[in-house]
Amino acid sequence: MQVVVNKLITRYELTGKGKTVLLLHGWGDTLAGFHDLTAALSEKHQVVVLDLPGFGQTQAPAEAWDLLDYAKFVRDFLKKTKIKPSVIVGHSNGGAIALKGLGNGVLTADKLVLLASSGIRGEYKGRVKAARLITKTGKALSRPLPSTMRFRLRRKVYDTIGSDMLVAENLQESFKKIVADDVRPDAAKVKIPALLLYGDKDTATPLSYGKMLADEMPKAILDDISPAGHFVHHDQPEMVLNRIREFLK
């Protein structure tokens, strides 16, 4: 389905019946990344999932957005579709958007589930600075090369230092804003029950990030998923589903 929100054509899916669960995907992902989780949760809940602006089949914003801008877009999407979620589930950057929105009163829900949520920005700031320095030098050295080879070189550099900046190259300025925003102050203002699931093999948002967020949240439950990487809901689908179902009871 499609709906126009703030002049952006937005793709979303709505399935199932019962209390509404909103799923927010991570940077570079789409609603398709929640396909199995959507199908399982929709057996007992109404599930809404959307492509966030700039990803999948939703138009990109004309300007650089930060986390609060994305949270406000989700709010406006829910208002436009007249959907009121009881539960918000956010993976990676989707979790950071949820924390920013809930912490600032932009979004509301009764419960929150974070899947390998990002938002701890200390390391990311260092990575982005390193990326800028390395690629600035690399551009000068690679300028004589064909454009395709220059892009491959930049891609390799960013992959090496662990940056997602080139996952959606047209959103680089948004990415820079997002990775400069630490959500721990926002997490401290989230008073609803929260379940935090992190993979024990995750190098993008390690378990230590989950511990930092849980320390800020008064009603947080932290659980490590083993063995699993950053996409915990893909690596251990049954385990994650069972944890969420138990939490939602």
**pTM for the whole thing?**
0.86
Give the pLDDT score at 167: 63
Same domain, 168 and 229: no
- Residue 27 located in a structural domain: yes
pLDDT along the chain (249 residues), means of 10: 98 98 97 98 98 98 97 98 98 98 98 97 57 49 56 48 58 94 98 98 96 98 97 98 97
Angle, helices 122-142/147-161, rounded to nearest 10 degrees: 150
Same domain, 153 and 191: no
Same domain, 11 and 128: no
The number of folded domains in the chain is 2
Same domain, 74 and 115: yes
Domain endpoint, select from 150, 172, 194: 172
Question: Rounded distance, CA 249 to CA 246, Å?
Answer: 5
Domain endpoint, select from 172, 193, 212: 172
Give 128-169 pLDDT, tens digit per residue: 554 455 445 444 544 555 655 655 555 454 444 344 545 677
Give the pLDDT score at 202: 96
- Residue 151 located in a structural domain: yes
Give the pLDDT score at 142: 46
Question: Rounded distance, CA 89 to CA 245, Å?
Answer: 12
Same domain, 13 and 55: yes
Beta-sheet pairing, 46-50 with 8-15: antiparallel
180 residue type, one letter: A
Give, in order, the Cα–Cα distances in Å from 162 to each of 131, 197, 244: 9, 21, 29
Give, in order, the Cα–Cα distances in Å from 13 to each of 150, 170, 183, 236, 245: 38, 25, 28, 23, 21
Q: Which two tokens stand for residue 81?
A: 């579709």
Domain endpoint, select from 107, 140, 172: 172
Q: What angle do CA 184, 233, 242 make, to 5 degrees?
A: 100
- C-beta of residue 102 within 8 angstroms of C-beta of residue 157: no
Question: Rounded distance, CA 22 to CA 130, Å?
Answer: 35
Enclosing domain of residue 99: 2-121+182-248
Same domain, 135 and 106: no
Give the pLDDT score at 137: 47
Same domain, 211 and 237: yes
DSSP state of 75: H
Give the pLDDT score at 93: 97
Question: Rounded distance, CA 83 to CA 75, Å?
Answer: 10
Give the pLDDT score at 169: 74
Give the pLDDT score at 164: 56
Same domain, 38 and 108: yes
- Residue 219 located in a structural domain: yes
Asked if the bond preceding 146 is cis, omega within 30° of 0, the reply is: no
We report the CATH number of the domain holding residue 69 as 3.40.50.1820
Give the pLDDT score at 49: 98
- Residue 35 located in a structural domain: yes
- Residue 177 located in a structural domain: no
Same domain, 26 and 111: yes
Same domain, 46 and 140: no
Same domain, 44 and 23: yes
- Residue 222 located in a structural domain: yes
Task: Say if residue 41 is exposed, middle or buried (CB neighbours under 10 Å; 0-12, 13-18, 19+).
Answer: buried
Same domain, 151 and 33: no
Give, in order, the Cα–Cα distances in Å from 130 to each of 3, 123, 125, 160: 39, 11, 9, 11
